[in-house]
Amino acid sequence: MTRHAREAVSLAVVTAVAEAVLQALVITDWTSAGAHALLFAFLVGPPLFLAMLTWRRRDHAARTRVLFAVAALCAVVGLGVLGYNYYRFATDRAARLQSNMSGLIVPLAQWAAVMAVWLWLVVTEAREKRAAKPPSPPAQHPR
């Protein structure tokens, strides 16, 4: 396992937990538990999927560097937005009365980034597999 893979998996898991905690701190109405469970699943999904992608490619150094960069970007942006949202919630009464869309916008952006990287990985690995495949013998046509 490369160093970048180890750090990307750790960073992604810590990001998922921290984002869930920050989102839980700004929820005032816990009566609809089902909706909150779906929100938390949607929120922790991108970092955990990124951790799984990294784990599956843990021996490929170039890919784990890319995945580490994506994990770092998702962590900085996601925790930054949700942290700022929590700061406003904790210090400004008017912010507590407004609707909170950060818990939905952050995972949407993270899912878009992670799916783009996943698509790139699938295409790259398919090309490599096709290039490594031995050429098939020429077909013989009946006369």
Concatenated DSSP letters of 52-110: HHHHHTTT-HHHHHHHHHHHHHHHHHHHHHHHHHHHHHHH-HHHHHS---HHHHHHHHH
Q: For residue 143, what pLDDT is reported?
A: 65
Q: For residue 123, what pLDDT is reported?
A: 95
Q: In the 8-state DSSP scheme, what is residue 136?
A: P
pTM: 0.84
Q: Which of 116, 136, 120, 117 is nearest to 128 (CA)?
A: 120
The tens place of each residue's pLDDT in the chain, 143 residues long, gives 889 999 999 999 999 999 999 999 888 777 888 888 998 999 999 999 999 999 999 899 999 999 999 999 999 999 999 999 889 888 888 877 777 777 789 999 999 999 999 999 999 999 988 888 877 777 677 76
Distance CA 40, CA 36 (A): 6
What CATH code would you report for 3-128? 1.20.120
Q: For residue 104, what pLDDT is reported?
A: 84
Q: For residue 110, what pLDDT is reported?
A: 94
